[in-house]
Homo-oligomer: A and B are copies of this chain.
Amino acid sequence: MAITIKEIANIAGVSRGTVDRALNARGGVNPEVEEKILQIAKEHGYKPNLAAKSLAMTQQNLSIGVIIYSENNQFFETVIDGINEAAEEIKEFGITVTICKINGFDVGKQLSKIDELINSGINALAITPINDEKIIKRLEEIDDIPIIALNTDIEGEHNIDYIGCDYYKSGQTAGAMMGLFSKGMGNVLIITGTHTVYGHNRRVKGFTDVIQKEYPSLLIKQTIENNDDDEISYNLLKEIIKSDNKNIDCFYFAAAGVDGGVKALMEDNRCKDFVIITNDTSPSRIELIKSGIINATICQQPFEQGYNCIKELFNCIMNKKMTTGKKSYTNIGIKLKYNFN
């Protein structure tokens, strides 16, 4: 077994309280004594026992606040599943997780949610931030608790970690799959969500770069926005397919609104010859892939994003660490009809 606080106290000839104060930099310890204690701890490779630590800390009523988009969107539901799983685990360590779902991209709403949580005394924050000046400024002001930007990042130099997808690589991967399924020949339509979301743009860029570099006979004809909305997506594609003078036969959905868009494509009798690449999964998506309508979907591990985010904040709290601006990217998965579990 590793060395304990009690043993360090014995060696140093001080009380356990003093060792605790020195080890956790709580202040109010004679510098020489502190130095000595740290030295002993280092020599013996002291590592705090997490179980004991958290048991003692249960009295403190610690909590993590989460602000997350929720658009009755399967993707974010899965992120939330991950958050809940982690929350369940750390509940045993006396830490509560409060989830606030907000709709849409209203900066004012998100700002006041941030204030509300901070005022309620949370000890860490996870947020899907709007990439907006005011939000960034507000988050940068908070310097006493760790913060993680979840799934979507914000610009600038700061101490806010990021856990989520590398959208550029995700787009590149989609481009490669488009090239393979089309055998490098065809006319491509890109259906993105909105040009105001950074991640969507990065995907389109990655996709376009690979197509242009590796598949010169695959022509990108047009890019449209569906606002992540199934109905808009349906109507737009219905229209384009009908009046199509560009012979589009390859479709890349860079964001949401896939169900609606694919419905329009399925109503066309050329559908089985179309190449369709999407992002993320849902039960309906899986069916469309297994039946061969959608050729491949590029995934980003939403469950892990939620889970890892909470676990990381938990670590910060337990070790009194702040976040430092680290970026963690989840795996980019490729799902074909054969490799679902």
Contact = CB atoms under 8 A, between A and B. Distances in A.
Nearest to A206: B338
Contact of A180 (B94, B181, B206): B181
B92 A169 contact: no
Nearest to A174: B338
Give chain A's interface secondary structure class: mixed
Nearest to A61: B1
Contact of A51 (B1, B92, B166, B176): B92
Contacts of A288: none
Given A180-B181, A331-B333, A173 B339 contact: yes
A54 B176 CA distance: 49
Given A180-B181, A183-B183, A173 B51 contact: no
A271 interface: no
A329 interface: yes
B55 A336 contact: no
B339 A169 contact: yes
A58 B54 CA distance: 15
Contacts of A329: 341
Contact of A338 (B49, B173, B331): B173
Given A180-B180, A183-B183, A333-B333, A341 B166 contact: yes
Contacts of A173: 336, 338-339
Contacts of A166: 341
Counting from the closest, the 8 A-B pairs by CB-CB distance are A332-B339, A172-B338, A180-B180, A334-B334, A50-B92, A173-B339, A51-B51, A51-B55
12 contacts: A2-B91, A49-B58, A49-B92, A50-B92, A51-B55, A51-B92, A172-B338, A173-B336, A173-B339, A176-B336, A206-B338, A332-B339
